[in-house]
A and B are shown apart, each in its own frame.
Chain A
Amino acid sequence: MKNQLKQVFHSPRFVIGFVIFVFMLGMAVLYPLLVPGDPLEMVASSSYPPGTYISLADTLESKQYGLDLDITATRLNKLISQEDKDAMVLWLTKYRGIAEEDIPVEDSVEMVHFWNEHYDPEVEQKGLTNAKRQYYRRLASRMATILETKDIIIATKNPETGALEESNTISFNTYTNVKDIASRRNFVLGTDNFGRDVLKELTHAVGTSLKMGLLAGVIATLIGLTLGLLSGYLGGLVDDIIMFVTNLFTVIPSFVLIILISFSVSQSARGVMLVGVIIGLTSWTWTTRSVRSQVISLRNRDHVNLSKLSGHSLPRIIVQDILPYIASYVVMALILQISSAILAEAQLSMLGLGPSTTKVATLGLMMNWAMTAQAPLAGRWWAFLPIILSIALITFSLNLMNTGLDQVFNPQLRD
C-alpha cells in the first residue's frame, strides 16, 4: 500500500494532474483569504477590460512631477486607431489618387501631417454614403488639432458669482506617480457585465464548483458502490433487480434525466448543492456496473472463501475482503465522477437549468452570465475565456490524475 502511494507520485501524469489541481484548489482557497470581501459585489458600472483603474479626480489633486519626455508618437499611437489609419489610407488612395506606398502609415506624426495636407472635403467623393462623409469630416477635425499640446486648464465654479475661476493648469509634461493615487483598483481579469471583479468571482466559482462536484461525486460513488457491491456479491434476484434499475437509468441518458429533474424543481429551490445532488443521483450507473463486475471476479477468490470458512458475516466480508481490493478503483471512479459533475453543471447552467441564484457563482453560472451578456460577440474575452480555461484545467487535471492512478493500479497499462 505504502509502495503504491509512492508509485502514484512517480507517475508523471498523476503528478502533473495533481499539481494543476492543487493550483486550482489553492487559488479557490487562498485568494478569498488574501483579498477578502463579497466576491459578487458590483464594483464597476459595466464590463471593463483587465487593467489598473485609477481615479481621474485623484490624479488632479495628487502631487505633480515634471518629466521631459517626447511623448507625441506614443500618444498618437494610442489616439489614432488602426481603423482610423485604414480609413485615411482608403480615402487618400481613392479620392486623391495617391499610391499606397507614398502614404507614411508607419509614422503617426507624418501621417497626420500628410492627411491634413491632402484632405479636402470639397473633393467629389463618389460612392460614399452620407454617414461615411460625416465620419471623414469628424476625423479630419480631430486630426487638425491632434498634434497641438496645449495646457489643460482646470477651473472651479465660484459659488457666489457662478463664474469659472482657473484653479490649476496641467501641461503635457506634468506627471503623477501612480503610487500617490489613493483610489485605484487592479482588475486582473477585468469586470463582467454586472460590473463584478472577474478574478474574484472566478476563484469563488472554482471553489463552489469543486464543492458541488465533490458532493455530486460522493453521492454518485456511494450509490454506485453500494448497489455494485450488493448486486455483485449477492447475485441472484437482488442482482436482477439492481441491474434492471441500472439499465433503466442507462437507457435514459443521465443528462436528459438531469435536465428533466432540474426543470421540474421550482426555480426558487434550485440551489447549487441541490443541483449537485441531482447530478449525483443520476450519474451512478456506470460506477454500479464497474464495481459489480469487479466484485463478481472477487467473490469467488479463495481469500473470500477462507474468510467465509472463518465464520465471518456478510457485511464483514464485504467491508474487509472485497472493499479494500476495489478501493483504488473506487477512488478513480470518484475522481471521474467529480470531473463529469463539474462539466454537467456547466452544461446545465448554459441551458439555463443550473442553479438559480445570484448569491453565489459557479463556473457554469459565470458562463451563462457571459453568454447572456453576449461577451463573446462583443469581444470581451476576459468575461468567458478564463472560465473556459478553469473548467478545462480542472477536468483535465482530474482526468490526468485518474489515468496516472490507473497506470499504477493496473500495471499492464504501464507503457
Chain B
Amino acid sequence: MPVSKIDREKRAKCLAGTGVTKVFGVGNARNVAVDHVDFDFREGEIISIVGESGSGKTTLSKMILGLISVTEGEIEYQGKPRDIKSHAKKKEYWKGIQAIFQDPFSSYNMFNKIDSVLLDCINMRGGRSLPKAEKEAMMTEACSFVNLKYAELTNKYPFELSGGQMQRLMIARIFLLKPKILLADEPTSMIDACSRATILDMLLKLRDEINMTIIFITHDIGLAYYVSDMVYIMEQGKFVEVGTADEVILNPKADYTKRLISDVPKIHEEWDLSTV
C-alpha cells in the first residue's frame, strides 16, 4: 500500500534539523554516531530512516525525542527553534512527539502494572481528575483498538505479556496520547514474524485515526518502501540519499542504497525456499 504522492511543499513543517551531530566520548574513544545530518519532516508524512545496525538511527531518534543532548546543530519544531530546556517545556514537547522503542521487553518498568502505563498517558493529556469509570472506558477503548482486552490486562505486569502484545500495548499508549509526531524505532525487529504485520497494520490504522506524522526507523528497505512517503538512507551517521519512496527505491543513486536494495530479493528468495 504505497502512500499516494503528496504535494510536499503545501504541507506544514513539523520537524526539521540542520547539521545535527552527536559525538560520544572524547579522545581515542571519540565516536561520531550522527554526523551533520539535515532533515525536513512535513505534517502527515510517513518518513522512513533506513540503515544498517550501528549506522546511528537510534542515536538520531533519541536526539529528535530530546532524550539525549545534541552535540552540534539545530532542531526546529513546528517552524521555530526547539526549546526543551526546562522540565515543563520538555513535557510540553513530549505531548507533541512520542515514541515506540525497538525492544518491548526493556521498554516497560517491570515493577509497575499495565494500568499505570496507560493511566500515565491519560494524566499527561490532562485527564488526572476524570472519574475512574471514564478513565477505565478510555483504557478499554485504547486496548480494544489494538485487539487487547483491558479486563484481562488490568492488574497484570508487562512482563506477563508476549513481545507482540507488549508492542501493541505501546500502540494503545500512543492511541491515548494522540501526539502529532510518532517516532517508531524498529518497532517490529524484536518480535516474532507473525506479529509483525499486525503491528504495522495497527500503526497505519492509528495514523489514519489521529492523523499524525510517523518517523519510521528500520533496517528493512522493503518495509520502508511499503509504508513511507519519504525515505532517508543513513550510512555511518550520514544521510547518503534522501527522497520520496519511489525516487529512492525505484531509482537509487548512492551505492549504499543499491546494496541495501539488492539484499532484499535475496531475503525473499530465502523466504521462498524455506516456506516451499
Q: Which residues of A contact B (CB under 8 A)?
A: 1, 301-303, 305-314, 320-321, 324-325
Q: How far is the CB of B108 from chain A (nearest CB, A)?
A: 6
Residue B138 is within 8 A (CB to CB) of chain A in the complex: no
Asked whether, in the complex, the Cβ of B109 is within 8 Å of the Cβ of A320, the reply is yes
Asked whether, in the complex, the Cβ of A302 is within 8 Å of the Cβ of B106, the reply is yes
Given contacts A312-B120, A314-B87, 17 further A-B pairs with CB under 8 A are: A302-B106, A302-B107, A303-B106, A303-B108, A305-B65, A306-B107, A306-B108, A308-B67, A308-B90, A309-B65, A309-B98, A309-B99, A311-B91, A311-B94, A311-B95, A311-B124, A320-B112
Residue B101 is within 8 A (CB to CB) of chain A in the complex: yes
Of A301, A302, A310, the residue contacting B120 (CB under 8 A) is A310
Nearest-neighbor residue (CB-CB) of B100 within chain A = A306
Most chain A CB neighbours (cut-off 10 Å) among B62, B67, B103, B109? B109
Asked whether, in the complex, the Cβ of A310 is within 8 Å of the Cβ of B121, the reply is yes
Nearest-neighbor residue (CB-CB) of A321 within chain B = B109
- The main secondary structure of chain A at its interface with chain B is helix
CA–CA, A241 and B194, complex, Å: 51
Residue B111 is within 8 A (CB to CB) of chain A in the complex: yes
Nearest-neighbor residue (CB-CB) of B99 within chain A = A309
Which chain B residues lie closer than 8 Å to A312 at the CB level? 120
CA–CA, A1 and B111, complex, Å: 9
CA–CA, A208 and B201, complex, Å: 66
Nearest-neighbor residue (CB-CB) of A311 within chain B = B91
Nearest-neighbor residue (CB-CB) of B94 within chain A = A309
Given the interface contacts A309-B99, A311-B124, does A303 sit within 8 Å of B87 by beta carbon?
no
Nearest-neighbor residue (CB-CB) of B120 within chain A = A310
Which chain B residues lie closer than 8 Å to A310 at the CB level? 94, 120-121, 124
Of B87, B98, B102, B123, the residue contacting A313 (CB under 8 A) is B87
CA–CA, A310 and B97, complex, Å: 11
Residues facing A in B123-142 (CB within 8 A) are 123-124
Asked whether, in the complex, the Cβ of A306 is within 8 Å of the Cβ of B101, the reply is yes
Q: How far is the CB of B126 from chain A (nearest CB, A)?
A: 11
Q: Can you list 19 pairs linking A and B with CB atoms under 8 Å apart? A: A1-B111, A301-B106, A302-B102, A302-B103, A302-B106, A302-B107, A305-B67, A306-B107, A307-B109, A308-B67, A309-B67, A309-B94, A309-B99, A310-B120, A310-B124, A311-B95, A311-B120, A313-B87, A320-B112
CA–CA, A305 and B65, complex, Å: 10
Most chain B CB neighbours (cut-off 10 Å) among A301, A305, A306, A320? A306
Nearest-neighbor residue (CB-CB) of B108 within chain A = A303
Q: How far is the CB of B177 from chain A (nearest CB, A)?
A: 9
Nearest-neighbor residue (CB-CB) of B103 within chain A = A302
Given the interface contacts A314-B87, A321-B109, does A302 sit within 8 Å of B94 by beta carbon?
no
Q: How far is the CB of B23 from chain A (nearest CB, A)?
A: 16
Q: How far is the CB of B69 from chain A (nearest CB, A)?
A: 10
Q: How far is the CB of A78 from chain B (nearest CB, A)?
A: 68
CA–CA, A303 and B90, complex, Å: 17
Q: How far is the CB of A334 from chain B (nearest CB, A)?
A: 19
Q: How far is the CB of A121 from chain B (nearest CB, A)?
A: 90
Q: How far is the CB of A253 from chain B (nearest CB, A)?
A: 31
Nearest-neighbor residue (CB-CB) of A307 within chain B = B109
Cβ proximity bits B245-268 to A, threshold 8 Å, 1 near / 0 not: 000000000000000000000000
Q: How far is the CB of A295 from chain B (nearest CB, A)?
A: 15
Residues facing A in B73-128 (CB within 8 A) are 87, 90-91, 94-95, 98-99, 101-103, 106-112, 120-121, 123-124
Which chain B residues lie closer than 8 Å to A302 at the CB level? 101-103, 106-107
Q: How far is the CB of B232 from chain A (nearest CB, A)?
A: 22
CA–CA, A305 and B64, complex, Å: 13
8 shortest interchain CB distances as A-B pairs: A310-B120, A324-B111, A302-B101, A311-B91, A302-B107, A303-B109, A311-B124, A302-B106
Which chain A residues lie closer than 8 Å to B101 at the CB level? 302, 305-306
CA–CA, A312 and B94, complex, Å: 11
CA–CA, A307 and B111, complex, Å: 13
Which chain B residues lie closer than 8 Å to A1 at the CB level? 111
Nearest-neighbor residue (CB-CB) of B67 within chain A = A305
Which chain A residues lie closer than 8 Å to B108 at the CB level? 303, 306
CA–CA, A324 and B111, complex, Å: 7
Which chain A residues lie closer than 8 Å to B110 at the CB level? 303
Q: How far is the CB of B116 from chain A (nearest CB, A)?
A: 9
Which chain A residues lie closer than 8 Å to B90 at the CB level? 308
Q: How far is the CB of A395 from chain B (nearest CB, A)?
A: 32
Cβ proximity bits B39-73 to A, threshold 8 Å, 1 near / 0 not: 00000000000000000000000100101000000
Q: How far is the CB of A301 from chain B (nearest CB, A)?
A: 6
Which chain A residues lie closer than 8 Å to B112 at the CB level? 320
Which chain B residues lie closer than 8 Å to A306 at the CB level? 99, 101, 107-109
Q: How far is the CB of A413 from chain B (nearest CB, A)?
A: 21
CA–CA, A207 and B90, complex, Å: 52
Q: How far is the CB of B233 from chain A (nearest CB, A)?
A: 25
Which chain B residues lie closer than 8 Å to A308 at the CB level? 67, 90, 94
CA–CA, A307 and B107, complex, Å: 9
Q: How far is the CB of B186 from chain A (nearest CB, A)?
A: 12
Q: How far is the CB of B110 from chain A (nearest CB, A)?
A: 8
Nearest-neighbor residue (CB-CB) of B65 within chain A = A309
Q: How far is the CB of B174 from chain A (nearest CB, A)?
A: 10
Nearest-neighbor residue (CB-CB) of A312 within chain B = B120
CA–CA, A313 and B67, complex, Å: 14
CA–CA, A311 and B86, complex, Å: 12
CA–CA, A11 and B205, complex, Å: 50
CA–CA, A69 and B67, complex, Å: 93
Nearest-neighbor residue (CB-CB) of B58 within chain A = A302
Most chain B CB neighbours (cut-off 10 Å) among A303, A309, A325? A309
CA–CA, A324 and B101, complex, Å: 22
Q: How far is the CB of A61 from chain B (nearest CB, A)?
A: 72
Q: How far is the CB of A211 from chain B (nearest CB, A)?
A: 31
Q: How far is the CB of A95 from chain B (nearest CB, A)?
A: 87
Which chain B residues lie closer than 8 Å to A320 at the CB level? 109, 111-112
CA–CA, A303 and B123, complex, Å: 18
Cβ proximity bits B149-193 to A, threshold 8 Å, 1 near / 0 not: 000000000000000000000000000000000000000000000
